[in-house]
Amino acid sequence: MDSDKLAIGIDIGGTNTKYGIIDIEGNILHRGSIKTKDYPGINDFADALASSLKPLISEAGGLQSIKGIGIGAPNGNFYTGNIEYAPNLHWKGIIPMAELISETLGLPTTLTNDANAAAMGEKKYGAAKNMRDFIVLTLGTGVGSGIFINGQLVYGHDGFAGELGHNIIIPGGRYHPGTGSHGCLEMYASATGVVYTAHEILKERIDEPSLLRKYPEESITSRIVYECAIQGDALAHEVFLRTGTILGHAMANFAMFSSPEAFILFGGLVRAGELLFHPVKVAFEENLLPIFKNKIKIIASQLFESDAAILGASALVRD
Amino acid sequence: MDSDKLAIGIDIGGTNTKYGIIDIEGNILHRGSIKTKDYPGINDFADALASSLKPLISEAGGLQSIKGIGIGAPNGNFYTGNIEYAPNLHWKGIIPMAELISETLGLPTTLTNDANAAAMGEKKYGAAKNMRDFIVLTLGTGVGSGIFINGQLVYGHDGFAGELGHNIIIPGGRYHPGTGSHGCLEMYASATGVVYTAHEILKERIDEPSLLRKYPEESITSRIVYECAIQGDALAHEVFLRTGTILGHAMANFAMFSSPEAFILFGGLVRAGELLFHPVKVAFEENLLPIFKNKIKIIASQLFESDAAILGASALVRD
Q: Kindly report, residue by residue over B37-85, the tens digit of the pLDDT.
A: 999 999 999 999 999 999 999 999 999 999 999 999 999 999 999 999 8
CB contact under 8 A, A150 and B147: no
Show the DSSP H helices in A209-304 as ranges: 222-230, 234-258, 274-287
Summarised one tens digit per residue, pLDDT across range B105-159 is 999 999 999 999 999 999 999 999 999 999 999 999 899 999 999 999 999 999 9
Q: Do domains B2-123+306-318 and B130-301 have the same CATH topology?
A: yes
pLDDT of residue A318: 79
CB contact under 8 A, B259 and A295: no
**Mean pLDDT of chain A, nearest integer:** 94
B165: closest chain A residue by CA: A256
CB contact under 8 A, B259 and A159: yes
pLDDT of residue A3: 62
* Cβ–Cβ contact B234 with A under 8 A: no
Listed residue (A88, A193, A81) closest to A139, CA to CA:
A193
Rounded distance between C-alpha atoms, residue A220 and residue A226, angstroms: 10
pLDDT of residue A14: 86
* Cβ–Cβ contact A141 with B under 8 A: no
Contact residues, chain A, for B155 at CB < 8 Å: 259
pLDDT of residue B191: 95
Calculate how close chain A gets to B161, using CA atoms only, in Å: 5
pLDDT higher than 70, residue B1:
no
Rounded distance between C-alpha atoms, residue A275 and residue A259, angstroms: 25
DSSP B5-51: SEEEEEEE-SSEEEEEEE-TTS-EEEEEEEEGGG-SSHHHHHHHHHH
Q: How many Cβ contacts (< 8 angstroms) between chains A and B?
A: 131
Helix (H, G, I), strand (E, B) or coil at B218: helix
pLDDT higher than 80, residue A305:
no
Residue A317, Cα to own-chain centre: how many angstroms?
Answer: 19
Contact residues, chain A, for B259 at CB < 8 Å: 155-162
Residue of B84, B156, B168 with shortest CB distance to A287? B168
Summarised one tens digit per residue, pLDDT across range A156-198 is 999 999 999 999 999 999 999 988 999 999 999 999 999 999 9
The CATH classification number of A129-302 equals: 3.30.420.40
Rounded to 5°, angle at Cα A145 from A143 and A147: 165
CB A266 within 8 A of CB A138: yes
- Give domain limits for chain B: 2-123+306-318, 130-301
Rounded distance between C-alpha atoms, residue B8 and residue B67, angstroms: 8
- Segment holding A119, helix H or strand E: helix A114-125
* Cβ–Cβ contact A94 with B under 8 A: no
Fold of A2-124+306-318: Nucleotidyltransferase; domain 5 (3.30.420)
CB A197 within 8 A of CB A236: no
Domain range B130-301, CATH architecture: 2-Layer Sandwich (3.30)
A159: closest chain B residue by CA: B259
Calculate how close chain A gets to B50, using CA atoms only, in Å: 30
Residue of B157, B159, B168 with shortest CB distance to A253? B168
pLDDT higher than 70, residue A258:
yes
Residue type, B312: G
Summarised one tens digit per residue, pLDDT across range B146-200 is 999 999 999 999 999 999 999 999 999 999 998 899 999 999 999 999 999 999 9
Quick one: what percent of chain A has pLDDT higher than 70? 99
Q: Compute, in degrees rounded to 10, the torsion defined by CA atoms A96, A99, A105, A108.
A: 140
Rounded distance between C-alpha atoms, residue B96 and residue B83, angstroms: 6
* Cβ–Cβ contact A183 with B under 8 A: no
pLDDT of residue B155: 96
Backbone conformation region of residue B189, classed left if phi is above 0, alpha if psi is from -120 to 50, else beta: alpha
Listed residue (A73, A66, A85, A67) closest to A18, CA to CA:
A73
* Cβ–Cβ contact A253 with B under 8 A: yes
Residue of A85, A166, A249 with shortest CB distance to B256? A166
Rounded distance between C-alpha atoms, residue B139 and residue B142, angstroms: 6
Average pLDDT over residues A122-131: 93
Quick one: what percent of chain B has pLDDT higher than 70? 99
Buried b (16+ CB within 10 A) or exposed e, B27-56: ebebeebbebeebeebeebbebbeeebeeb
Rounded distance between C-alpha atoms, residue A46 and residue A88, angstroms: 18
Greater model confidence, B309 or A81: A81
pLDDT higher than 80, residue B202:
yes
Q: How far is CA A85 from CA A32, A91, B291, in A?
A: 26, 8, 8
Interface of A with B in 51-90 (CB under 8 A): 75, 84-85
Calculate how close chain A gets to B114, using CA atoms only, in Å: 16
Q: What is the DSSP letter of A207?
A: T
The matching CATH number, chosen from 3.30.420.40, 3.40.50.2300, 3.40.50.300, 3.40.30.10, for B2-123+306-318 is 3.30.420.40
Average pLDDT over residues A16-26: 93
Tell me the backbone φ, ψ of residue B202, rounded to 5 degrees: -60, -35
Residue of B147, B166, B256 with shortest CB distance to A163? B256
pLDDT of residue B236: 97
Rounded distance between C-alpha atoms, residue B261 and residue B132, angstroms: 8
Listed residue (A94, A46, A250, A291) closest to B163, CA to CA:
A291
Residue of A163, A249, A295 with shortest CB distance to B171? A249
Residue of A156, A167, A295 with shortest CB distance to B259? A156
Interface of B with A in 260-319 (CB under 8 A): 260-261, 287, 289-292, 295
pLDDT tier, B2 (very low <50, low <70, confident <90, very high otherwise):
low
pLDDT of residue A304: 81
Strands B297-300 and B262-266, sheet pairing: parallel
% helix, strand, coil for chain B, step of 5: 45, 20, 35
pLDDT tier, B309 (very low <50, low <70, confident <90, very high otherwise):
confident
The CA-based diameter of chain A, rounded to the nearest angstrom, is 68
B169: closest chain A residue by CA: A169
Beta strands in chain B (DSSP E): 6-12, 16-22, 28-35, 66-73, 83-84, 94-95, 109-113, 134-139, 143-149, 152-153, 262-266, 297-300
pLDDT higher than 70, residue A300:
yes
Rounded distance between C-alpha atoms, residue B176 and residue B170, angstroms: 12
Backbone conformation region of residue B99, classed left if phi is above 0, alpha if psi is from -120 to 50, else beta: alpha
